[in-house]
Amino acid sequence: VVYAIVSTTGAFRVHSATSADGLAWANDTGTVLDGGSTPLASPQLVKLNDGTWRLYVLSGALPESAQVLTMGSSNQGLNWSAATVALSTPAFSLGASVLTNGKVRLFLTQPLVGTSSAGVVASALSSDANGTSFSMESGLRLSTSAASGTLSDAVPVRSTYSYRWRLYYGFADPGTLSTASIRTALTAAPDPK
């Protein structure tokens, strides 16, 4: 697992931990990514179809100056490549999934037009199976109005039906920042036409 912290010195970092059973975790030695004074948030780890790992992290002042950084590992996170910018777009949080065709889709909670609240989940698709370069996709995956509430932390998971996906996300009522409920959305069944 990867997670973002603010160290005792005020530095923003991404660390990793391992577990044999998913219950007891031990921190790995070293730092996966050191952002220094630049905020780091919402790290997402995916395993590509070729077996390599790819890490995505939001970097910068969120949401207006957000960049999605990416790093790769060919030895299950023991060593990582240098971070590069995969996408620059306003975002509060990030989710990632590997599609059956090998491409990576990023899910980003973004501000509603004309507001500063996270009211939409948009997506970006990688140009290839390496998952290093992305383009925003048209339309929205999920949205709400500012009067209804805010969205956070979109986590896509393949449904038990191989052709469907489920999106888990946080939803906070208007004016509530500290308490959110976890909600879910499911893609529609395919249309054979």
The pLDDT tens digits for 59-86 are 999 888 899 999 999 999 889 999 999 9
User: Which DSSP category does 63 fall into?
Assistant: T
What pLDDT was estimated at residue 173? 84
pTM for this entry: 0.89
What pLDDT was estimated at residue 119? 86
Q: What is the mean pLDDT of the chain?
A: 90
Contact assessment for residue 193 and residue 165, using Cβ atoms and an 8 Å cutoff? no
What pLDDT was estimated at residue 104? 96
81-109 burial, b at 16+ Cβ within 10 Å, e below that, comes to: eebeebbeebbbbbbbbbeeeebbbbbbb
Please give the full DSSP string across 131-182, using - where no structure is assigned: ---EEEPSS-SEE--TTT-EEEEEEEEE-SSTT-EEEEEEEE-TT-SS--EE
CB atoms < 10 A from the CB of 13, how many? 17
| Token pair of 9 as six digits | 């010195």
Contacts of 98 (CB under 8 A, 6+ apart): 46, 47, 48, 49, 104, 131
| Token pair of 120 as six digits | 């939409």
pLDDT, mean of residues 140-162: 83
pLDDT, mean of residues 116-136: 92
What pLDDT was estimated at residue 147? 78
The pLDDT tens digits for 5-51 are 999 999 999 999 999 999 999 999 989 999 999 999 999 999 999 99
The Cα–Cα gap between 83 and 67 comes to 11
